[in-house]
Amino acid sequence: MAAARLGRPLPGSSVLFLCDLQERFRDSIAAFPQIVAVAARLLQGCRILGVPVLVTEQRPEVLGPTVPELGAQDLPRVPKTAFSMAGAAAPLLGDPKIRSVLLCGIEAQACVL
């Protein structure tokens, strides 16, 4: 079987989605500090390349804000009440230039749906 080939993210046609990396999950998600550290490096790389970033927060009034160590304080956050990011991401996903989406988050079965 041939190996799957991943595309290369390009600044003009890629977007980074950071999903629900929030305070309330800090003590309930295994390896949360490591997940956030990797997400922070990915965010830093996307900033350098000029890749747009979407940060979502699941019910922030209940689950708290995005963790500060992610380094996304200057980015707008899109609150959501559905597990999926599709509604929050609709404006970016509707852009015909976007061909690659980088997904980063926790709870893959729910958040990165």
Cβ atoms within 10 Å, residue 105: 21
Out of 19, 46, 104, 111, pick the active-site residue.
111
46 is catalytic: no
Angle at CA of residue 58, ends 112 and 8, nearest 5°: 30
For residues 7 and 46, the answer to whether their CB atoms sit within 8 Å is: no
99 within 8 A of 14, measured Cβ to Cβ: yes
Cross-strand pairs, 101? 15
Among the listed residues 80, 95, 97, 104, the single catalytic one is 80
CA 41/CA 27 separation, integer angstroms? 21
Verify whether residue 20 is a known catalytic residue: yes
- Given 19, 20, 46, 104, which residue is catalytic? 20
**Looking at the annotation, which residues are catalytic?**
20, 80, 111
